[in-house]
Amino acid sequence: MCVCVHMNSIMDEQIELPPGFRFHPTDEELITHYLSPKVLNTNFTAVAIGEADLNKSEPWDLPGRAKMGEKEWYFFCVKDRKYPTGLRTNRATDSGYWKATGKDKEIFRAKRIVGMKKTLVFYTGRAPKGHKSNWVMHEYRLAPKFPL
C-alpha cells in the first residue's frame, strides 16, 4: 500500500474548501495519519486523498481522479507485483513506466523510523529507450516494523 503524490499541470475541479486552505501534509503526517490507518482498515477514507490504480492510469489522467489539488495530488494505491511469486514491483502503464531515482528517504517520528519515501519519474515508451517526462511521483510505504 502506498500514498502517492503527483506533481504537474492544473486540475479544474476541486472540493469546496475555505479560502486559503491547502493540503500540504508532512511526510510523517502522511505515514502516521493517512497510510497507517488505511493499511489497518481498507475502508478508511480521507477527504483529500483519492484511490487510483497506477498501472491502469497514465499520469496525465490522474488529476481528474484526485479529490483535490492544483499541482499536487494524493492517492492511495496497492502496489502491483511484476511477477505473481516475486517481490519486484510493476510500475508500467500502457504508454510508459515509472522509474525510481535516487535512494529511499527514511521518515521519522520522534526519532523512530515510521516509513520510507521513494521518488519516481515517468518515462514514455519502453525501457531502456524511454523518454523522461516532467511527471514526478513520491511513493510512501510503512517501515517494516512500523508500530501500528
Superfamily for domain range 2-12+23-142: NAC domain (2.170.150.80)
The 10s digit of each residue's pLDDT in 38-52 is 989 989 988 889 899
Q: Is 131 helix (H, G, I), strand (E, B) or coil?
A: strand
8 A C-beta contact, residue 97 and residue 130: yes
Q: Mean pLDDT, to the nearest integer, of 70-86?
A: 81
Report CA dihedral (56, 100, 74, 59) to the nearest 10 degrees.
-40
- pTM for this predicted structure: 0.83
* Sequence ranges of the domains in the chain: 2-12+23-142
Q: Provide the 10 A C-beta neighbour count for residue 137.
A: 22
- Residue 57, pLDDT > 70, answer yes
SS3 content of the chain, % helix, strand, coil (to 5): 15, 40, 45
What percentage of residues in the chain have a pLDDT greater than 70?
Answer: 86
